[in-house]
Amino acid sequence: MIGVILWSDPAAEKAVIWCEDHGDLAFLSRAECKVLPDAFFDVGDMVEFDVFAERNVRKVNRVSRLAQSFGRSLTGHLEQTRKPQRARVDVSDSAEIIPFRLNPSARPIPVPVADQRRRG
């Protein structure tokens, strides 16, 4: 599979990879991937790797760098992406909305059938 490094910690030799299949992110660490390049991956590097699942987490083994800083623009776009805001509705010319408030004292409390038999 091919992916782009979204986050990297060279000191701990760990990284998070966006995958070309648009599935879950894949996690790279020294524990699962024994052979790593001398210069660890940077954010934006394009990598090719094998992926396996362990306890519903995608992990990486056999990884190699295809291009350096290739996906910098991808990480920049992801940082700028915001949650869509709800469209505001103009209600200035709509009918008046009267809130419905239930008066608890005006509503009878239902008595379960089993309780009525014991009392009677």
CA 69 to chain centroid: 24
Q: What is the DSSP secondary structure assignment for residue 105, as one 8-state letter?
A: G
pTM of the full structure = 0.57
CA–CA distance, 33 with 94 (Å, rounded to integer): 62
Q: Walk me through the domains of the chain, giving residue ranges and CATH numbers.
A: 2-79 (2.40.50.140)
In the chain, what is the straight-line distance between the N-terminal and C-terminal CA atoms, in Å? 75
pLDDT category at 97 given cuts 50, 70, 90 is: low
Residue 77 structure tokens: 């776009």
Helix (H, G, I), strand (E, B), or coil: what is residue 71? Answer: coil
Whether residue 83 is predicted with pLDDT greater than 90 in this model: the reply is no
Q: What is the pLDDT of residue 69?
A: 73
CA–CA distance, 115 with 120 (Å, rounded to integer): 9
CA–CA distance, 71 with 17 (Å, rounded to integer): 11
Q: Which residue has the higher pLDDT, 115 or 31?
A: 31
Mean pLDDT of 19-26: 91
pLDDT category at 2 given cuts 50, 70, 90 is: very high
Q: What is the pLDDT of residue 114?
A: 62
Q: What is the pLDDT of residue 4?
A: 92
Q: What is the pLDDT of residues 34-77, one digit of tens each?
A: 778 778 888 889 999 999 998 989 999 889 888 877 656 666 66
